[in-house]
Chains A and B, each alone.
Chain A
Amino acid sequence: EKADRDKPMNIESDALRYDDLRQASVFTGRVVLTKGTILIRGARLDVRQDPEGYQYGVVTAAPGQRAFYRQKREGLDEFIEGEGEVIEYDGKADRVKFIRRAEMRRYRGATLADEMAGSLITYENTTDVFTVDGGPASPTPGGRVRAVLAPRESASAPAAPRTPATPPAQLRSSPGLRGEAQ
């Protein structure tokens, strides 16, 4: 959510190396980054800051693994979770990119609402716009994008406890009514 912008970012990892040439610090080994409601996990994290103070992070996962990203949505009791072999976080545009075997899930409270899978997913936090591109690196068969959208909010509010869905009793004339050749 927006409040994450001015929250302190703290990072835990096995090791830290500062790369002066690229003005970036590189964390390696079970890296966990938290910034307000944002949580990122991965094997290696490169963080760099631009002159205006926006931060850019690139998280790469251990080979065969996927990095993990999680953030609360603005003003809603909903969470966005995403996974991908590489996760790029752009502080300035408040955009997250999941690259290769990308998956994004949206939770409404505890229940899973939407779910996307593709080879590249970009998610604009401010405008709530996401784009999913297919391609060979998609986890779904045939490289196609697959999305599962939850039923609409209004419809799914469980107004009354749903009675078990038994088919309504249809009164039909039994074939016997035609009567056999007596």
Chain B
Amino acid sequence: CGFELRRAPDFAFKSILITSGSAVSTDLRRNLSSVPEMQVLPLSGRPDQAQVILDVPEERRERVVVGVNASGQVRELQLRIRMKFKLRTPQGKELIPETELLQQRDISFNETAVLAKEAEEGLLYRDMQNDLVQQLMRRLGAIKSL
């Protein structure tokens, strides 16, 4: 029925500089360095050495109460990672305009189990982070030409 194993996307660039040290950017840098003949510059790399530059002007983790019961006990939380990214060439040509990505997960809550919920929140944030990295890898792979 037409399905075949996914192949590594053939990137239109051979070197990239990610100008942010945020959690998702670090994960993306590690993922990109596993791509054959892709040179990933370190955070302190010089822009003119990279074919493309990925800026992450904003990456925020949000934690919002979305469910409280009548006696003020929190029952539902929503965790979000909101990030903005844009891709350009060192000469300033905009390849991907500034785009906002948002991942959100609901998590139940009760005051007595707050210690365990703290660990579970870490699990969910990592899961959202992986999703964001996969989505960014696809977006970078979708670039046809510089």
Residues in chain A within 8 A of chain B (CB atoms)? 180-182
Contacts and interface: CB of A to CB of B under 8 A. Distances in A.
Nearest to A182: B63
Interface residues of B, number: 4
B41 to A, nearest CB: 26
B37 interface: no
Contacts of B62: 180-181
A180 B62 CA distance: 7
Interface in B41-90: 60, 62-64
Contacts of B63: 181-182
6 contacts: A180-B60, A180-B62, A181-B62, A181-B63, A181-B64, A182-B63
Contacts of B64: 181
Contacts of A180: 60, 62
Nearest to B61: A180
Contacts of A181: 62-64
A182 B121 CA distance: 13
A174 B64 CA distance: 22
A84 to B, nearest CB: 46
Contacts of B60: 180
B111 to A, nearest CB: 17
A182 B79 CA distance: 10
